[in-house]
Structures are given as structure tokens and as C-alpha cells.
């Protein structure tokens, strides 16, 4: 159509603009709320999703204008500091176009193939201007924020804000071009010009949009042949053009180097009813175009969905998938629903149909690069649907190229070995060599398709989910077997060159390369260096040998070099060694042949460096495959023997199978050190441990531990490796050593600091996985194969480990090792306490003395529970098969006699873990009494007589409280009221030298001793008060093992509260049933718990309410003897007449009690009872048949020793057995401090 002149139709368009503006004002007058609604809509569009898209929208409008006139129009964008211009030579704007600008969702493009659809995008210009202007040949007009506000205010004066694009105002084009040179230049050729006077900040945004404008837009704007983007302020210009030739498009962008080639494929899809129902409400086009633009040189780069401009939704298919997708308002992201799903399925079909057209003669498989990768968790639903539909469409199609470039179904071809894919790289040399044979077989995958991504695509297309690659031998043999009429020599040459180009590690990992070598006698052989050789010039005639390659091949330089790469050379001593080395692959350790004898003999005829090279080429693992002779004559792995020395002797008297035969190998030591740099050694040395037999299983265990943690995702186990694999070794040898040898090797390992250094395992490539610190393999091998020398012999290292070690002597060896702290941490050793061993065996023990009587100064350092401990000196202490210098057991502290008292105190303090310094020990040894106590003692000492001293020390009230009331009554009947001094004389007359002990509870202000049996502390105390030394008492004699008591004997009556407790206990014993046979007596200290409990049981025995023996258990000597005294007194007072009660003592080394009758009480310390149960349980089974068990100080009875005793008595299970003994506990504190869990345990034990 002919271009209109400027000004044609101006009056008509001006009248229309005025009419629509007046109608809008009237609408606002009638409904003022529309003002704010329209203003908000413009603001949302300009500042929301369309922000930063002004250039897209303007170019899009220009492209739509060009679509109405012809193909090949132009658009120019011009940016200055103050203005942005967008000009095109398309159809001038008409009334419909003006209406679309002044309103929303009234675009005339609906139902067309134009890009913009709803008239919203242009409102984005308000983000950069307040006065958008339109100059076109049919009339010019503008919008103006200030003018619009003024006119709308006349009808709606109180609006919060005002719209801009609802009122248009005419503009004089002629005047404007006179004032604007750029506008004047553009007017010479353009039909439509948009000019935007820029607000502050607008220039920077638009300059960035110019730089980032996607040139690929022109691929889909078929009416635009040129787009020019000028930034006059920076004098930069981008010229984008497109030349179309059918599907081929050449896109040129002056800002890029060289043109970009594209292939454009299109279809028109007719929407289904479901898709039509899901499209946008104002979209009424039933036929939708779908385009796929595939780049010539970037097929392996994932592309995006475009809605004529880029969206943020990736397609993962190469290039651009363009269609009028249903997106959110800013056109950035695809939405879900039937409409988009249907277009995606159409796009998949388009790609499947078009894909083969991307292949080229040079690379028939390049089209495979365009396919999407495998699914990942963050892929969008659109990507997943496209990938699924695309691969469904491709299955069964001819899509895979053969060696001639012809396409076939994926399962119709054979495939080269997949070993040529290493990581992300393809080893191309063998593939290209193979393809160089003109007569190569054709039914194999084209060699250019052997890439990671292309094979991955073929895997997804294959019915089995993976294409199976041929073995190297199948692939290589295909060259010489599958071609008819080929030259066998030429085919063998290509096969050999191909084999030689394969990396050695891949060749080694395959058993054989196939029969590809043509020999001189026409036989096909595998390229075995020990079986095939090059012709020997010194040989008489190799021309018909089955072991010599064809002379035509050995005469070809390239083939000869390839044969040498494959190890095929003239026979030599090295060849002989290679042949023997090969035989090592098939060596059976149990065989009787002389393979290794021959190997070492052959190796000695070859230079060391050459021998080492042959061994490496044979892929022999020096630490396993190569064996050395031990003194025993056996052939052992290199890391399974040691040089004679500190660990293994050289005379073969021990560990001859783990000792290197030096005489046999004296010529081999240099080679041994070359193949294993650390070489054989006498003791552990620093070396690479990854070559030892145990390493793979150790690594697997550490990988299990790595993966067992809470990790972001499951790692690839093969990517988990140690930072370093060096350490002290060999460790493999520990499996071969004798127990004595292992003990010596264990000791050397424990002495090395590096043994305790952990190994760090990390992921090779992913830092998201936290590293794992693993115990060193030396620690692992010590646990499994280590041995420990103890006084009783060599024992397994593991017997010293765990919470309850099997061998405490071994544990003690480790805890006394110079590296004890490192050992304790590395092996999580248990604490070695005397309680672990039970009651010790002691020799020639003295009578116990209170520990605080021996060293009163320890009172400030002892915990409360230790202040009643007793010290027992003896000649020797044995426990756990070991001698001890000090052995705390229960409340007894056994101490070997020491000549020096300071040493004895140090030993005791260390055993009790008091942590005393030398100054503190010296202070304790001085036995200084506090000054105020010395003053009180001196005041007593100054009295003239013993009676006066006793009266001064005790006081009259205390003296009267202990003397029998009848005695005082008789004396005062004859003498009248006695003075305090006279009462003291009466006390001395009554108790003589035992008087001080009798009043010990009233002497606390003078710091009395805890034991009065003639102890040194008691003597010092008595003499310090001025009394004779004999007042300190006599040393105890060993008590009788049992006491037989006859009744009756008179005791004071019980108090009412005591009587109630007696009745309750008798009720339990009388009516106790299967479930209620336990109880606890809780009474304050000094209120007669023992008397009450004993009397209740005695009365029950007397009345026939209880029949059987009674076991009474306490934890200290005083409590045990107190119980014996109470039983004797109560039975004499309350027992059955003419019936005798036997009371047996079972503590402090007393003999085993004999079971006698039903009236038998065994009073035992818990420590002795537990020890006797451990040593001779059969002698104490009768105790399980007793009728009653009583635990004194019952709040301590949840300790392990008590639990052990209860288990021996058949009372330790969760479910109580029928007929088990009654259980009664005595305590003043029926709880466990603040420990709720232990208190609950105590309740369950007695509840």
C-alpha cells in the first residue's frame, strides 16, 4: 500500500480522540470510583510485572504494525538523554489502535496472529515517562499526566490519584519536527513514531534494555527484516537483521561476532475444547502457531520457552520454543493447565518431526544434542511434560545414525564400548581410528554419537533403558570379521592401530582385545606380548610362524609402533619376564608350582628399572600379586612379611611364615624397594596403605559411616575418598604374625603418634557434604588383630575394650602405657576401678582403722560418702590377676605396707582420685589439730583427776544419760543428790578404761577418733586429754564366725510409733502374696530402725508367721556388727523359749556359713557377699531359699553390687518369681538425692 503523507486524516482522528476523552470524563462524573481504579491499574502495570519491559512492548507494537503492510519492514529504536524514540514503517495507527491505548483489554489484535493481544503492555511506558507521544501519518496525539489531572479534577475533584492514558490530546507534528532533529529524521521514512520524554532514571533503564535486547526476536517476527537500536548518548548502535531461506535463518547482530545460523520449524495447532476453555478469557483464536528455533552451533545448550520474548521457564530443549503461552501477567512464567499442556504436546510432536533435519553429513548425530537431559528434582512441570511426550514420540522412529549416517531405530544398531566415555569426556582417538577403515561394518552407531549426552539420550530411548556397549574384543574383531571382501592385512592394521590408541588403563581392565593380529601363517591372534612377537632379525625364518606378526604389518612404520605400544616386540629377557608376570594373574596361592621361583629368577636377569616397568605394565599389584619367600618356604604377599629384627627373629624360631628370607632375596632388595617404595621393613614405617589387602573393606566401612549421617542427599559412594592414605605399616602383616609377634607389633604401633591421627573422608567434588573423621586403619587393625602382653600371657587387644572389658589386666596395661591418654581416647577405654575386679585377695592384713583416724587431715578432701572408709594394711593385694599397691573396695581401702608414710598417703590419694598436691600431702601428714580443739583438749587435761577430766569433757547431763537409772537411784538414796564429779566417778567405776568409748557420741567437740580398738589415733586422743593410753581400748580380735543366742533377755518396751512399724512389717510377712512381698522401713537416724526391724522378724518367727532363714546385708563393718548385736539382744528378749538362734558373720574374711535349720540369720557385707557369689556361687545357693532378705541403708541398694547380689538370689528380673524371698529395706532417706530416675528405680525395687 502507498504510504500516507503526514497529516492525512488528522481531523478525523482528532475528533475521535476528543469524543472518547469526553465520554471518559462523563463516565468519571457518573462513577468517580473509576478514576482511582484506572489510576491503580496503570500504576500496577507500569511498576509491576511490566517494569523494565518498555522496549519489548514498543518493538512488539512496531512488529504488529509491520505485519499489516508487507514483509521485510524496519524498526528503529533511538535513545538520547532526554527521549526514547521507536519508529516503524508499518501501517499508521487508526481509531482501533487509539482505543486500545486509551483503554484496557480492548486491543484490535485479538483473533489475529499479531504478538500483542490485550493492549496492556504499552502502559509500561509510564514507568519511564509522564508524557508519551504518538506521531503517525494519520494524526498525532499525546498523553500528559498534568493535563489529565487538570481535566479529571474538574469532574472528580477529590480523587487520590489520576490515570494518564485515559485522556489523549492532539499534537502538531509540523511544529514538533521543527524543534526535534531526531524526530525530523525519523519522519522521513517512518509511518509511526513513539516519542517518550524521559523521567529521571528512565535513561539508565532503557540503555540496559537496549544492551540486553534479544536479537532472536526477529526469528518470530516474520514481517521485520531489520531492527536498529541506537544509543545516541553513548554513540553505540546495534543493527539486527535476519535473512530467511525456507527454514534456514541467518541472524546478524552487529554487537556479536559473525552471523548466527538457525533452523525454524513451525506448525499451527487447533485447540481442543478443553484447551479453549482454559485459555485467557479475551483470547478467541482457535488456531495457535507453535515455533521451534534450533541454533546451528549451540544444540547442547538448554533453551527456554518464549512468548515472543524470553520467559523464565526453561524447556531444556535446544533453542527456543515460541508460542502464545498462557503466562502470568508479566509474561515471565508459564502457567499450568490444559491450554499450555496441549501446546507442549504439540511442541513435542514438532520437535520429534523436525529433529532429523538438524543432522549434517559431517556429524549425522548432532541432532541428539538438542534433546533434554534426564529429569531432576527441581525441573518444572512443563519441562517434565515436554520431555515425557518428546521421548514417547521418538521411540520407534528412525533417529539413530549408523556409520554411513543413515538413521535407524535405537535398538537396530550395535554400539561401541562404553568405556570410551570417561566422566564427561569421550576418548575419540580409538573411535576415529576404527571409522577410518573404508570397509568397516555399517550396522554400528556412528562414532560421532559417542558422547555423554548423546548416549544418555539413546539410553532413554532404548526399550531396556540403556544401550549395551560391545566389549573391546567384539568391537575390534568387527573390523576384521564383519567386512566381506576386505583386505585382511589392511583390516588388521587398522584394528591394531585402533587398539593401540585405546588408553592403557582401559586395555588393562578388559580381559582381551580380540583376535585382531594377523600372523605370518595367516592365523588371527590376540595381541599378547608374551605370545606374539615382531620378527627377530637374527632368527632363521619367521615367515610362517604362528607367533610372529605378518611381515607386511611389521614393515609398516605406524603399525609397528602400534604393535610396540601393545607390548609386541622382539623376544628378549624382558619378554620372558612379561610372560611369567602374566602367569601371576592365574596363580593360586595353594598351588605347588614354581611360578614365583621362575619369576624372581627372570627378574634378576633384567635391569631393576626395566623389571619394575614390566611389572607395572602387567598391572600387577605389588602388595598382593607379587609374592616373596618367607623363611618357612611359603610364598607370601609383600606386605605380609617383615625383615628380621625387633618383631620377628631371623633364625626362624618364631613367625617364620611372616619373615622375609633374606638369603634368597638378597639380590632382589633393590627391586623390592622399587615396586613398593617403603619396601620390606623390620617395624612399622610411613607408607601408602591403599595398596594393602584390607584397604577396600576398610574404605567401604567408612563410606557406610559417611552415608549413615543426616546429609542433604545421598552421595555417590564412589566419590567418597580419603584426603590421604599414608600411615604406619604394613598392617596386613598383623594377620600373619603369631600372638607374640602381634603383641610386639601392637606395642610398636601404640608407641607411634601417627597411629592416633584420624583419616579424613570427603566427597571428591561436592562440598555440601561435611567431611568425616575416621579412626586410622591402624586403630581398626589393632582392634581386630592386635594382642596385648599381660602378666598372665598374651590376650586379644579387643578383650580390653568395651564398657565391661573381658580382660581387665589387658585394660590395665593400656591405661599404664606411656601413650595412655591417646589410647584411651582412640579406643574409648573404660575406667579401670578396683570395683571392676570384685573383692581382692589379701595377705597378712591388719585390723581395719578408720581412714580419718589415720590421716584426719583428709577430711577436708574426702567426699561425704568416703568419710567412713577404713584403712586395712596388708602384705600383698591381688585382684584381676595383678598386684596392687592400693585397692579401694566398698568402704575398705586395702594398702600394701610402705616404709615411708608419705608414699602410703600418696598411693591412697591417687587411688581415691583426690588430686592432692605435694603441699597438701605434707599438710595432712603434720596431723595438726585446729587451735580451738587443742584449747578444749588442754582445758580437760589441766584437771587434776580422771574423774574431773571426764566430767569436764562430757558434762553431768551426758554422764547421767548413759549410766543405768537404778545405779544413780541407789547412790543418791545413800548420798543424796550426786555432784557432777561424783557421777563421773560412778561412770569410771562402771566402765573402767572403756569409759571414753562409751561416751564417744558426747565428745564431738574434742574431735574424737572413729575407732577405739587401740588405734594410734585413739591413743593420741586419750593421752591428749590426760587419760592413760589404755583408755584408748584394745585392738580388736577377729570376731567369732557365728553367735548362738538363747532367750529370753529383758529389753525396754518399744515406743508406740515403733510398735506400729512392727505390726506393719508382721502384716507384710503374714499376708504377703505373690505380688506384694517387698517393703521399706523409713525412720529417722537414731530412732531404732534396726531394733524395730529385728523385733518384727523375731516376733514373726516366734509366732510361726515366717519360716526359714534370714539374710541381713549391710555395707560397713559397724552396721554388720550392730545387726549381730541387735539380733542377739532381741532374740534373748523376744525369741521363742528353749529355741536357739544361729547368727553367722559373713564379712572380713569369715569362713563360709553352713546352712543350719530354719532359725538362722546370716549377716553379710554386700562386698563380701558379691565376691563370694563370683568365686564360688555353688556354695551359696542355699541363700536363695531363705525366707527374707533385709538391706540396711536401702537407699544405696540400686548400686550394681546390690543388683548383682539380688540376681544371684533370683530376685533381679523384671518379673518377680513366685515364692521369692521377702525383701525389706531400712533407710532414713528413702530417695536418691535430686535424681528422679534413680528414686523411681528405688521405688520399683521395694514397691
Region 137-158: mean pLDDT is 92
Looking at residue 540, its pLDDT comes to 42
Question: Could you tell me the pLDDT band of residue 623, with boundaries at 50, 70 and 90?
Answer: low
Looking at residue 264, its pLDDT comes to 96
Question: Could you tell me the pLDDT band of residue 117, with boundaries at 50, 70 and 90?
Answer: very low
In sequence order, what DSSP letters do the residues of 420-463 get, joined into one string? Answer: GEETTEE-HHHHHHHHT-TT--SSBB-GGG-SHHHHHHHHHHST
C-alpha cell at 792: 598372665
Q: Which helix (H) or strand (E) holds 260?
A: strand 260-270
Question: Could you tell me the pLDDT band of residue 969, with boundaries at 50, 70 and 90?
Answer: confident
What are the pLDDT digits (tens) for 274-300?
Answer: 999 998 866 778 899 999 999 998 888
Q: Identify which of 1124, 1125, 1054 has the alpha carbon closest to the alpha carbon of residue 1096.
A: 1054
Q: Which residues contact 767 (CB under 8 A, 6 or more apart)?
A: none
Question: Could you tell me the pLDDT band of residue 587, with boundaries at 50, 70 and 90?
Answer: low
**465-474, 960-969, 1193-1202: which has the highest mean pLDDT?**
465-474
Looking at residue 1232, its pLDDT comes to 61
| Residue 415 DSSP class | B
Percentage of the residues of the chain whose pLDDT score is greater than 90: 44
Looking at residue 544, its pLDDT comes to 53
pLDDT at 536 > cutoff 70: no
Query: How far is it, in rounded angstroms, from Cα 1061 to Cα 1077?
Result: 16
Looking at residue 119, its pLDDT comes to 57
Region 1079-1083: mean pLDDT is 90
Question: Could you tell me the pLDDT band of residue 482, with boundaries at 50, 70 and 90?
Answer: low
**Nearest 5 degrees, angle CA 378-CA 380-CA 381?**
130
Does domain 1042-1246 fall under CATH 3.30.460.80? My reply is: no
Question: Could you tell me the pLDDT band of residue 539, with boundaries at 50, 70 and 90?
Answer: very low
* C-alpha to C-alpha distances, 450 to 302, 423, 1165, nearest whole angstrom: 20, 13, 84
Looking at residue 324, its pLDDT comes to 92
Count CB neighbours of 259 within 10 A: 15
pLDDT at 546 > cutoff 70: no
Count CB neighbours of 1019 within 10 A: 18
What are the pLDDT digits (tens) for 549-565?
Answer: 898 888 899 999 999 99
Mean pLDDT, the chain, as a whole number? 86
**195-204, 511-520, 1147-1156: which has the highest mean pLDDT?**
195-204
Q: Among 112-121, 645-654, 982-991, 1118-1127, where is mean pLDDT lowest?
A: 112-121
CATH fold, domain 10-243, is Heat Shock Protein 90 (3.30.565)
More confident residue, 9 or 723: 723
Looking at residue 486, its pLDDT comes to 74
Region 400-415: mean pLDDT is 94
Where do the structural domains in the chain lie, given as residue ranges? 10-243, 259-394, 572-682, 695-827, 834-925, 931-1032, 1042-1246
Looking at residue 1245, its pLDDT comes to 84
What are the pLDDT digits (tens) for 920-948?
Answer: 888 888 766 677 788 888 998 999 899 89
Q: Which residues contact 371 (CB under 8 A, 6 or more apart)?
A: 317, 355, 390, 391, 453, 457
Query: How far is it, in rounded angstroms, from Cα 122 to Cα 144?
Result: 15
pLDDT at 898 > cutoff 70: yes
More confident residue, 1120 or 619: 1120
Q: Among 161-165, 889-893, 911-915, 1040-1044, where is mean pLDDT lowest?
A: 1040-1044
pLDDT at 506 > cutoff 90: no
Question: Could you tell me the pLDDT band of residue 677, with boundaries at 50, 70 and 90?
Answer: confident
C-alpha cell at 129: 515517562
Region 222-230: mean pLDDT is 92
Query: How far is it, in rounded angstroms, from Cα 1012 to Cα 993?
Result: 11
pLDDT at 667 > cutoff 50: yes
Looking at residue 542, its pLDDT comes to 46
* C-alpha to C-alpha distances, 860 to 134, 856, 864, 921, nearest whole angstrom: 101, 9, 10, 12
More confident residue, 203 or 1209: 203
Question: Could you tell me the pLDDT band of residue 1039, with boundaries at 50, 70 and 90?
Answer: low
Looking at residue 929, its pLDDT comes to 66
Region 1210-1220: mean pLDDT is 73
Percentage of the residues of the chain whose pLDDT score is greater than 70: 91
Q: How many helices and strands (H and E) does the chain possess? A: 45, 43
| Residue 1094 DSSP class | H
Q: Which residues contact 969 (CB under 8 A, 6 or more apart)?
A: none
Looking at residue 295, its pLDDT comes to 94
Query: How far is it, in rounded angstroms, from Cα 1223 to Cα 790?
Result: 42
Count CB neighbours of 412 within 10 A: 11
CA 325 to chain CA centroid, Å, is 45
Question: Could you tell me the pLDDT band of residue 118, with boundaries at 50, 70 and 90?
Answer: very low
Query: How far is it, in rounded angstroms, from Cα 1051 to Cα 225?
Result: 127
For residue 78, is it left (φ>0), alpha (ψ between -120 and 50) or beta? beta
Looking at residue 1136, its pLDDT comes to 81
More confident residue, 898 or 748: 748
| Residue 765 DSSP class | S
Looking at residue 1057, its pLDDT comes to 86
Region 1207-1219: mean pLDDT is 75
Q: Do 330 and 53 meet the contact criterion of CB atoms below 8 Å apart?
A: yes
pLDDT at 2 > cutoff 50: no
What are the pLDDT digits (tens) for 751-796?
Answer: 999 999 999 999 999 999 999 999 999 999 999 999 999 888 999 9
- Using a 10 angstrom Cβ sphere, with 0-12 exposed, 13-18 middle and 19 or more buried, the burial of residue 273 is exposed
Half-sphere exposure of residue 1102: CA atoms within 13 angstroms, side-chain side: 18
Q: Which helix (H) or strand (E) holds 1165?
A: strand 1160-1165
More confident residue, 1095 or 596: 1095
What are the pLDDT digits (tens) for 438-460?
Answer: 888 999 999 999 999 999 999 99
What are the pLDDT digits (tens) for 332-390?
Answer: 889 999 999 999 999 999 999 999 999 999 999 999 999 998 888 888 999 999 999 99
pLDDT at 487 > cutoff 90: no
pLDDT at 1019 > cutoff 50: yes
Amino acid at each position: 500500500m502507498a504510504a500516507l503523507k503526514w497529516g492525512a486524516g488528522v481531523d478525523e482522528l482528532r475528533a475521535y480522540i476528543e469524543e472518547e476523552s469526553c465520554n471518559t470524563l462523563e463516565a468519571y462524573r457518573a462513577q468517580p470510583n473509576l478514576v482511582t481504579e484506572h489510576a491503580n491499574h496503570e500504576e500496577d502495570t507500569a511498576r509491576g510485572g511490566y517494569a523494565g519491559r518498555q522496549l519489548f512492548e514498543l518493538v512488539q507494537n512496531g512488529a504488529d504494525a509491520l505485519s499489516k503492510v508487507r514483509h521485510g519492514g524496519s524498526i528503529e529504536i533511538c535513545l538520547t538523554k532526554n527521549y526514547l524514540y521507536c519508529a516503524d514503517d508499518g501501517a499508521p495507527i487508526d481509531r482501533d489502535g487509539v482505543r486500545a491505548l486509551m483503554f484496557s483489554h480492548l486491543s484490535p489484535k485479538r483473533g489475529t496472529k499479531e504478538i500483542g493481544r490485550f493492549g496492556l503492555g504499552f502502559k509500561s511506558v509510564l514507568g519511564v515517562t509522564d508524557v508519551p507521544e504518538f506521531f503517525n501519518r494519520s494524526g498525532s496525539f499525546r498523553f500528559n499526566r498534568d493535563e489529565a489531572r487538570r481535566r479529571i479534577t474538574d469532574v472528580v475533584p477529590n480523587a487520590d490519584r489520576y490515570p494518564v492514558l485515559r485522556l489523549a490530546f492532539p499534537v502538531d507534528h509540523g511544529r514538533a519536527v521543527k524543534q526535534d532533529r531526531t524526530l525530523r529524521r525519523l519522519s522521513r521514512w517512518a509511518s509511526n513514531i513513539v516519542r517518550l520524554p524521559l523521567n529521571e532514571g528512565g535513561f539508565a533503564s532503557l540503555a540496559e534494555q537496549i544492551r540486553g535486547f534479544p536479537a532472536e526476536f526477529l526469528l518470530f517476527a516474520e514481517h521485520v527484516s531489520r531492527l536498529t537500536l541506537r544509543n545516541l548518548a553513548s554513540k553505540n548502535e546495534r543493527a539486527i537483521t535476519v535473512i530467511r531461506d525456507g527454514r534456514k535463518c541467518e541472524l546478524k547482530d552487529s554487537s556479536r561476532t559473525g552471523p548466527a545460523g538457525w533452523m525454524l520449524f513451525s506448525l499451527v495447532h487447533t485447540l481442543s475444547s478443553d484447551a479453549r476453555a482454559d485459555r485467557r478469557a479475551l483470547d478467541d483464536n482457535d488456531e495457535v502457531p507453535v515455533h521451534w528455533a534450533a541454533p546451528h552451533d549451540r544444540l547442547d545448550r538448554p533453551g527456554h520457552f518464549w512468548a515472543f520474548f524470553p520467559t523464565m521457564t526453561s524447556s531444556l530443549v535446544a533453542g527456543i520454543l515460541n508460542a502464545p503461552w498462557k503466562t502470568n501477567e508479566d509474561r515471565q512464567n508459564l502457567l499450568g493447565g490444559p491450554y499450555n499442556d496441549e501446546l507442549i504436546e504439540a511442541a513435542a510432536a514438532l520437535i520429534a518431526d523436525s529433529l532429523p533435519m538438524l543432522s549434517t553429513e559431517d556429524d549425522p548425530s548432532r541432532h541428539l544434542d538438542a534433546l533434554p537431559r534426564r529429569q531432576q528434582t527441581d525441573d518444572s512441570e512443563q519441562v517434565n511434560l515436554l520431555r515425557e511426550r518428546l521421548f514417547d514420540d521418538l521411540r520407534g522412529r528412525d533417529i539413530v545414525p549408523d556409520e554411513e549416517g543413515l538413521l535407524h531405530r535405537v535398538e537396530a544398531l550395535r554400539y561401541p564400548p562404553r568405556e570410551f566415555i570417561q566422566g564427561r569426556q569421550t576418548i575419540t582417538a580409538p573411535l576415529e581410528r576404527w571409522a577410518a577403515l573404508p570397509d568397516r561394518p555399517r550396522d554400528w552407531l556412528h562414532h560421532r554419537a559417542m558422547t555423554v549426552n548423546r548416549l544418555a539420550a539413546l539410553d532413554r530411548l532404548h526399550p531396556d533403558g540403556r544401550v549395551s556397549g560391545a566389549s573391546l574384543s567384539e568391537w575390534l574383531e568387527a573390523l576384521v570379521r564383519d567386512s566381506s571382501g576386505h583386505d585382511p592385512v589392511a583390516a588388521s592394521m587398522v584394528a591394531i592401530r585402533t587398539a593401540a590408541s585405546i588408553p592403557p588403563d582401559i586395555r588393562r581392565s578388559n580381559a582381551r582385545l580380540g583376535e585382531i593380529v594377523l600372523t605370518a601363517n595367516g592365523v588371527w591372534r590376540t595381541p599378547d606380548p608374551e605370545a606374539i612377537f615382531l620378527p627377530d632379525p637374527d632368527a632363521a625364518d619367521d615367515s610362517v610362524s604362528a607367533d610372529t606378526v605378518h611381515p607386511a604389518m611389521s614393515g609398516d612404520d605406524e603399525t609397528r609402533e602400534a604393535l610396540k605400544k601393545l607390548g609386541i616386540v622382539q623376544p628378549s629377557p624382558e619378554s620372558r619376564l612379561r610372560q611369567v608376570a602374566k602367569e601371576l594373574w592365574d596363580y593360586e596361592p595353594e598351588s605347588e608350582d614354581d611360578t614365583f621361583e621362575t619369576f624372581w629368577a627372570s627378574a634378576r636377569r633384567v635391569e631393576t628399572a626395566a623389571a619394575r616397568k614390566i611389572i607395572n605394565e602387567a598391572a600387577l599389584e605389588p602388595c598382593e600379586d607379587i609374592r616373596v619367600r618367607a623363611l618357612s618356604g611359603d610364598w607370601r604377599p609383600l606386605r605380609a612379611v617383615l625383615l628380621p629384627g625387633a618383631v620377628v627373629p631371623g633364625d626362624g624360631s618364631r613367625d617364620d611364615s611372616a619373615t622375609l628370607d633374606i638369603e634368597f632375596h638378597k639380590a632382589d632388595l633393590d627391586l623390592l624397594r622399587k615396586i613398593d617404595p617403603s619396601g620390606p621393613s623390620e617395624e612399622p614405617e610411613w607408607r601408602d596403605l591403599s595398596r594393602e589387602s584390607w584397604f577396600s573393606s576398610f574404605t567401604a566401612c567408612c563410606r557406610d559411616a559417611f552415608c549413615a549421617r543426616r546429609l542433604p542427599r545421598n552421595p555417590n559412594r564412589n566419590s567418597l575418598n580419603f584426603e590421604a592414605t599414608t600411615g604406619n605399616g604394613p598392617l596386613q602383616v598383623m594377620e600373619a604374625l603369631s600372638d607374640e609377634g602381634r603383641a610386639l607389633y601392637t606395642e610398636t604401633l601404640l608407641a607411634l603418634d601417627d597411629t592416633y591421627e584420624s583419616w579424613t573422608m570427603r566427597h571428591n567434588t561436592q562440598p555440601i557434604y561435611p567431611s568425616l573423621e575416621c579412626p586410622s586403619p591402624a586403630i581398626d587393625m589393632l582392634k581386630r588383630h592386635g594382642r596385648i602382653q599381660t602378666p598372665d600371657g598374651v590376650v586379644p587387644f579387643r578383650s580390653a575394650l568395651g564398657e565391661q572389658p573381658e580382660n581387665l589386666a589387658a585394660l590395665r596395661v593400656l591405661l599404664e602405657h606411656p601413650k595412655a591418654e591417646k589410647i584411651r581416647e582412640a579406643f574409648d577405654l573404660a575406667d579401670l576401678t578396683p570395683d571392676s575386679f570384685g573383692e581382692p585377695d589379701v595377705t597378712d592384713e591388719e585390723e581395719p582403722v578408720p581412714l580419718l583416724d589415720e590421716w584426719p587431715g583428709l577430711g577436708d578432701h574426702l567426699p561425704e560418702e568416703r568419710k567412713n572408709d577404713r584403712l586395712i594394711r596388708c602384705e600383698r593385694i591381688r585382684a584381676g590377676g595383678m598386684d596392687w599397691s592400693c585397692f579401694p573396695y566398698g568402704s575398705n581401702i586395702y594398702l600394701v605396707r610402705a616404709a615411708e608414710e608419705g608414699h602410703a598417703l600418696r598411693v591412697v590419694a591417687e587411688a581415691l582420685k583426690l588430686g592432692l598436691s605435694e603441699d597438701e600431702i605434707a599438710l595432712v601428714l603434720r596431723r595438726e589439730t585446729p587451735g580451738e580443739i587443742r584449747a578444749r583438749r588442754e582445758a580437760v587435761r589441766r584437771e587434776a583427776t580422771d574423774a574431773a577430766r571426764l566430767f569436764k569433757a562430757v558434762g553431768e547431763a551426758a554422764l547421767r544419760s548413759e549410766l543405768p537409772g537404778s545405779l544413780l537411784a541407789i547412790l543418791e538414796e545413800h548420798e543424796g543428790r550426786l555432784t557432777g564429779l561424783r557421777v563421773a566417778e560412778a561412770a569410771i567405776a562402771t566402765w573402767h578404761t572403756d569409759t571414753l568409748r562409751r561416751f564417744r557420741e558426747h565428745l564431738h567437740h574434742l574431735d574424737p577418733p572413729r575407732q577405739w580398738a587401740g588405734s594410734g589415733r585413739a591413743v593420741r586422743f586419750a593421752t591428749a586429754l590426760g587419760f592413760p593410753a589404755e583408755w584408748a581400748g584394745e585392738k580388736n580380735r577377729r570376731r567369732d564366725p557365728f553367735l548362738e543366742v538363747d532367750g529370753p533377755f529383758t529389753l525396754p518396751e518399744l515406743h508406740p510409733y515403733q510398735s506400729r512399724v512392727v505390726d506393719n512389717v508382721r502384716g507384710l510377712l503374714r499376708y504377703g502374696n505373690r505380688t506384694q512381698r517387698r517393703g521399706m522401713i523409713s525412720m529417722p537416724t537414731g530412732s531404732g530402725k534396726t531394733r524395730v526391724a529385728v523385733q518384727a522378724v523375731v516376733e514373726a518367727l516366734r509366732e510361726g508367721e515366717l519360716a526359714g532363714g534370714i539374710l541381713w546385708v549391710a555395707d560397713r563393718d559397724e552396721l554388720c556388727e550392730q545387726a549381730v548385736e541387735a539380733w542377739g539382744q532381741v532374740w534373748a528378749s523376744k525369741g521363742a523359749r528353749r529355741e536357739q538362734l544361729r547368727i553367722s558373720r559373713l564379712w572380713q574374711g569369715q569362713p563360709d556359713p553352713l546352712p543350719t535349720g530354719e532359725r538362722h540369720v546370716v549377716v553379710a557385707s554386700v562386698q563380701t557377699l558379691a565376691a563370694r557369689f563370683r568365686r564360688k556361687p555353688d556354695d551359696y545357693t542355699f541363700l536363695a531359699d531363705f525366707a527374707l532378705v533385709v538391706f540396711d541403708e536401702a537407699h544405696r541398694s540400686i548400686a550394681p553390687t546390690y543388683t548383682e547380689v539380688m540376681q544371684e538370689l533370683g530376685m533381679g528380673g523384671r518379673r518377680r518369681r513366685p515364692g521369692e524371698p521377702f525383701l525389706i529395706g531400712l533407710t532414713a532417706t528413702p530417695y536418691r538425692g535430686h535424681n528422679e530416675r534413680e528414686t523411681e528405680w528405688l521405688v520399683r525395687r521395694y514397691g
